[in-house]
Amino acid sequence: MACQGYIFYPGTLLAGPWLSCADFLAFIAHTGAWASTSQPLPRARLHVLRCCVLGVVFLGLHSTFAPKLPDRAFLSSGWVSHSLGFKLLYMWAMAFAARCKYYFVWLWAEAACVASGLAWSGTDWSRCRNIQPAGVELATSAAVLASVWNTRTGLWLRHYVYERVAPPSRGPAPFWALLLTQTVSGVWHGVYAGYALFFLTSTLMFHASKVLFRYQRNLAGNVRRISDFAHGLLTAFHLSYSAAVFIAVTLPASRAAWASVHYLGHVSMVGICLLGALVPAGKRREGGAREDAPVPASGGRRKLT
């Protein structure tokens, strides 16, 4: 019965967030983080209310703008006549409208987990936090983006795919480990061309972001802030460019979307990766920033319990 409860738990069944079976069993047995009965219930009520209100706001945004930004525009006769700036802005707006749907689903799932007590981590209600909308929209790199989007699924991918093929004890992970991880993520979304293209492209996006971070890590002051801002703009562009095919799904629409902007996303990603191979960045100075993790993780490399 416990395993059935874990599989069919309403707060995580349809779209996540993922939780380990060990955590769920501890929750129903009132052990571990749930052994204490002095949980801050007033804070829980406020957290649930915040998630529900924000979720409704994002649902309203999605319902308002998504119908006005259809992916079929890529196949329309007038699409190619628009300016490059219009096409890029359209892709960004369409991707934002689509993201709002996920913000709603995951915020309400988090609210359900908090209301039941399952989200208690021992110190706060972050165990089931799967999305941070502000973090996604203002991400300064692809690695930061990965840490605030579908966080719990990212944790599963890190522990059960990424670190299985590239254990941390062996040093920096090779590019193929990230490629394999993103391929696994793409396969479970479905066998559509748009999904495959998105996740394969996201591998390049993450790797390019790592290259840029290596150049940034020894910067400081205003120069670092300017570089973070520029990296953030590039991340927003790469995300909306890649997400266009995830939304379009079909191969003809995906090809039309990318071709209409001259494959600028791929050109920039590949160019950055080649730059990193030809002009290696300097070594990290003492006390400098550490390299961002290429695969999303929640709570670092902690052991699952």
Query: Quick check: helix, strand or coil at residue 131?
Result: strand
Tokens of 48: 């649930």
Residue 30 vs residues 117, 122, 146: alpha-carbon distances, Å = 10, 12, 32
Tokens of 229: 């801002």
Q: Which of 82, 189, 231, 238 is catalytic?
A: 189
d(CA 60, CA 54): 10
62 is catalytic: no
d(CA 159, CA 98): 28
Tokens of 23: 């955590």
Give the number of other CB atoms < 10 A from CB of residue 132.
17
d(CA 194, CA 181): 17
d(CA 151, CA 145): 10
d(CA 183, CA 177): 10
List the one residue out of 217, 215, 212, 209 whose CA is nearest residue 242: 209
Do 84 and 261 form a contact (C-beta atoms < 8 A)? Answer: yes
| Active site residues per annotation | 189
